[in-house]
Structure 1
Amino acid sequence: MKYLTIEDTIGNTPLVQLQRLPGQGNASRGNVVLGKLEGNNPAGSVKDRPAISMIKHAEARGNIKPGDTLIEATSGNTGIALAMAAAIRGYRMVLIMPEHLSIERRQTMRAFGAEIVLTPQKGGMEYARDLAEQMRDQGKGVILDQFANEDNPLAHFETTGPEIWRDTAGKVTHFVSAMGTTGSIMGVSRYLKSQNPNVQIIGAEPSEGSQIPGIRKWPQEYLPKIYKPAGVDRVVQVTQAEAEEMARKMAAEEGIFCGISAAGAAHIALKIAEEVENATIVFIVCDRGDRYLSTGVFPA
């Protein structure tokens, strides 16, 4: 008898319908709003998919082998996912992240055996990415590079997109995702549009001055190389206050305890539901709310 490994449990996450937040008007317009619960992945986020994908494809190409050191700049979820994937497949993992990100993230990375290098908050992810490249150039390890590695969106083209198409019976009309590395939105967009070019792909980005973990508006020189603007039909801004308020509403009114970037995508999905009729709107619930308890978003 063959038993599952923890790696086998990545993906095939639930797609669930919001019941209260869309309101009665949404039902009368014939819309369905669905959240894909990526927090159900074993390390707790949508990033489990590209993490295992990047490692397995790098192994297949002979770029890395168990026992090697991997280096990655991360704002949290990819780092946690890579720490788990490295533990599964036998790698030393060094993660570089800005010092202001939540303590829960650092604790989880260390639990999986990763080493953490903290960088100054004022340097943001840009400084963390520069330091990772410096360490690589000094021969301290291999960067998988979630921002430029095509195995990142490939994971979503091969798994997330097909799951959404399958679980909506091909009825999905709109897909909403936070944009960080942009791997999720790029891979899902490519798959869904290969099935139906009319599916609308909407990206969530933070409004000016908002800091929402997992959603970024990159300076041009740091724009992820995997990002292809043609794959996104519309970019909608969300404020930090809107995302945080929606995170609380998702938990209290839907029983879905999600993170801040997931709530930002939910906010936009619900706004779209006010504009359209007979639509099936899917958004990515990219992680769980317990990753943000120390931030004060969820008061005690």
Structure 2
Amino acid sequence: MALYRNVIDLIGNTPTVDISPLSPNPAVRIYAKLEGQNPGGSVKDRAAKFMVEAAERDGILKPGSVVLESSSGNTGIALAMICKVRGYHLKVVLPENVSIERRQALEVWGTEIIASPASEGSNGAMRRAQAMAAEHPEWWFPFQYGNDANPRAHYEGTGPEI
């Protein structure tokens, strides 16, 4: 049995499966990258890991740093795992109508959840996180929607695996 130091070591290198039998055209080869096999259950684990590692390399994140992000679930869960392992305090702004399962997944990793109005959706959560980041410039706000490290995770990680 393989033993890993922590959940971060399990992110990436997900299996690729031949699902060609699902195609109505037998000449077509179809492969599926099983990103749900990441420890957080989604492709967002890769991006979160890449964004955190980039901030660490740039000297932005140090032990005990506060990380703030808006999320409707998957990115928040990925950041929660990574921040807990790396010793950062994570605050996630979530729309208040996010499922209890997603909230629990965040809470188990010690995440501080900040609710935003359900009526404002993910955009409202993002605006609230942006306002909080402006009030607390000492916090790191990865801003997944505008962070170049987010898509680079796939260019440098997922792509070569495929």
| 8 Å contact kept, 2:20–2:28 | no
What's the secondary structure of 1:113's corresponding residue? coil
| 8 Å contact kept, 1:76–1:105 | yes
Aligned counterparts of 1:16 and 1:120: Cα–Cα separation in 2:
40
Deviations 1:106-132 (A, max 9, x none): 110111110111211210111111100
Shift of 1:51: 0.9
| 8 Å contact kept, 1:43–1:81 | yes
| 8 Å contact kept, 1:71–1:143 | yes
* Residue aligning to 1:18: 19
Aligned counterparts of 2:20 and 2:98: Cα–Cα separation in 1:
32
Q: Cα RMSD (Å) of the superposition?
A: 1.5
Output aligned runs, 1:217-236, within 5 Å: none
Shift of 1:99: 1.8
Deviations 1:205-230 (A, max 9, x none): xxxxxxxxxxxxxxxxxxxxxxxxxx
| 8 Å contact kept, 2:20–2:31 | no
Aligned counterparts of 2:20 and 2:108: Cα–Cα separation in 1:
36
Alignment counterpart, residue 122 of structure 1, candidates 119, 122, 135: 119
Query: Which of structures 1 and 2 has the bigger CA Rg?
Result: 1
Change (3 A) 1:17 1:102: farther
What's the secondary structure of 2:30's corresponding residue? strand
Shift of 1:17: 2.3
* Residue aligning to 2:155: 157
What's the secondary structure of 2:17's corresponding residue? strand
| Aligned amino acid, residue 18 of structure 1 | I
| 8 Å contact kept, 1:14–1:37 | yes
Output aligned runs, 1:1-300, within 5 Å: 4-6=4-6, 7-18=8-19, 21-22=22-23, 25-27=24-26, 30-139=27-136, 141-164=139-162
| 8 Å contact kept, 1:135–1:141 | no
What's the secondary structure of 2:82's corresponding residue? helix
In structure 2, stretches of 5+ residues that fail to align are none
Aligned counterparts of 2:109 and 2:20: Cα–Cα separation in 1:
36
What's the secondary structure of 2:42's corresponding residue? coil
Aligned counterparts of 2:53 and 2:157: Cα–Cα separation in 1:
15
Aligned counterparts of 1:19 and 1:150: Cα–Cα separation in 2:
33
Percent of aligned pairs with the same residue? 45
| Aligned amino acid, residue 9 of structure 1 | L
TM-score, length basis structure 1: 0.50
What's the secondary structure of 1:142's corresponding residue? coil
* Residue aligning to 1:284: none
Aligned counterparts of 1:159 and 1:5: Cα–Cα separation in 2:
20
Deviations 1:65-107 (A, max 9, x none): 1101110001110000000010111100000111222221111
Give the number of equivalent residue pairs. Answer: 158
Aligned counterparts of 1:119 and 1:35: Cα–Cα separation in 2:
35
Shift of 1:20: 5.4
What's the secondary structure of 1:72's corresponding residue? strand
In structure 1, stretches of 5+ residues that fail to align are 165-300
What's the secondary structure of 1:124's corresponding residue? helix
| 8 Å contact kept, 2:73–2:98 | yes
